[in-house]
Copies of this chain bind each other. A is one copy, B any other.
Amino acid sequence: MTDETDTVHTPESAHEGHEHLSPDFVRAVLELVEAGEIEAAREKVEPLHPADIADLVELTPGDQRQALAAAIAGLIDGDVLSEMNDWVRDELIEALDPHEVADIAAELDTDDAVAIIEDMEEEDQRAVLRALDPDDRAAIEEALSYPEESAGRLMQRELIAVPEHWTVGDVLDFLRKTEDLATDFWEIFVVDPGHKPVGTCALSWILRTPRAVSMSDVMKREQTLIPVEMDQEEVALKFQKYALISAAVVDDSGRLVGMITVDDIVHIISEEAGEDALLLSGAGDGDINEPVRDSYLARVRWLIANLFTALVASSIIALFGGAIEQMVALAVLMPIVASVGGNAGTQTMAIVVRALATNQLTQSNTVRTIRREILVALLNGGTIAVLLGIGAAVVFANAALGGVIAAAIVINILVAGLAGVLVPVTLDRMGQDPAVASSVFVTMVTDSMGFLAFLGLAVAAGLAG
């Protein structure tokens, strides 16, 4: 990999490897800011791509961010803000005057302007809206009237829609004449007189078609229309499934009201897919830039929920206090049974949550998936049971103990496999996000069942009692 061919738009010295700004670059800029050498700092930052300026602000420690922002004020424009981590952006925006925010929002497409404004406090939001000119304000207010994370928030109103009877030549002339167009577009929408979409036309087809041909002969009639209320996760799945570059957004009456382009969707695909790992672990939807207070509240709730499941498991142990007193080996071995079960359950659960999120698991294949996971659980359970059973029998010189722990492992991994499918599928059927609550339930099942099966079998086998 040769660095000079990597990316043309950023001075190479600013980058560490291929992706990040180098720590040296960040430090150099911050030292200039601290020394008051504003001009020199600006000169270093100016050639960066907006996405890299956004990274620079994110990498700057919180207490130095306002100083940096002040130093490079004019360089933090709408493009930079729309690339920035939400938490960092909100912090910067809070320090700005509503008029400054309005100026930034006015230069952006509706979707990017909405993204910046939607998280502001209501009062600040109103102040920014008042400072906008009436057209921009109306567009943003309309977008804000749609639910959060819906297609209506994501779409931009700037798009090209032409009537069916136009020819390719008409379209070319129209595009060349019109000054004030959406900056980037990849498809042209063809609409009927009621402004309902009847087809789309990729720009490459228009370029390759003689001027005299009618749009209705070039366009593709099959198209994916996005209802304005559709959840962004579903929108992202449609873009993925049908390999879309842009799509028309329609209101309840089927009229074309906006366009969503794939570059706004890649962030959502990445967020929605990455979020499951965070949700499954109980870390909320936070990241390393989330304020400590929010992180604490999100995580402690989860820890308390898990504390209750641990108490349930521990009350099962309490039932067998007598057995443990007689045979301390039980206390030594019991966490292993619970832990292996928990791991097996988590594996299945992660697979199932992902399959639900990508629409791979539907009613058509639920039963098949359960059967599959039981089979995998039997194989896994058998393997671990043999290893651990022999190990325990040898170490404690007690064959019965080996048999008991082997049986308990098989039972717990089987239960874990079942719970790993049934818990997320049930939550999904109930309309809940399976990534959010599954692991609390699965862990409770595998911990409790691990202790119950092992200690119960030990008593039943007469090892202790």
Query: A344 and B262 in contact (CB under 8 A), knowing A221-B8, A350-B281?
Result: no
- A432 proximal to B (CB < 8 A): no
Give 7 closest A-B pairs by Cβ, nearest first. Answer: A273-B273, A277-B277, A281-B350, A203-B203, A9-B222, A243-B263, A273-B274
Choice from B241, B296, B351 contacting A83 with Cβ under 8 Å: B241
- A349 proximal to B (CB < 8 A): yes
Which A residues from 291 to 306 make CB contacts under 8 A with B? 292, 295-296, 299-300, 302-304, 306
Q: Which residues of B contact A280 (CB under 8 A)?
A: 277, 280-281, 350
Question: A330-346 CB contact bits vs B (8 Å, 1 = yes)?
Answer: 01111110111001101
Q: Which residues of B contact A302 (CB under 8 A)?
A: 343, 347
Query: A8 and B347 in contact (CB under 8 A), knowing A288-B372, A324-B331?
Result: no
- A145 proximal to B (CB < 8 A): no
Contact check, A362 vs B304: say whether CB atoms are below 8 A apart: no
- Count class of interface residues, chain A: 35 or more
CA distance A359 to B325 in the complex (A): 52
- A135 proximal to B (CB < 8 A): no
A295-B376, A313-B339 given; name 10 further pairs at CB < 8 Å.
A27-B364, A171-B207, A280-B281, A283-B348, A283-B350, A287-B351, A288-B355, A299-B376, A304-B387, A315-B332
Interface centre among A270, A300, A387 (most CB of B within 10 A): A270
Which residues of A does B touch, CB under 8 Å? 1-2, 4-9, 16, 18-21, 23, 26-27, 49, 51, 55, 58-59, 61, 83, 85, 171-172, 175-176, 178, 181, 184-186, 202-204, 206-210, 221-225, 227, 229-230, 234, 237-245, 250, 252, 254, 262-263, 265-267, 269-271, 273-274, 276-278, 280-283, 286-289, 292, 295-296, 299-300, 302-304, 306-307, 309-311, 313-315, 317-318, 321, 324-325, 328, 331-336, 338-340, 343-344, 346-355, 357-365, 368-369, 372, 375-376, 379-380, 383-384, 387-388, 443, 447, 451
Interface of A is mostly: helix
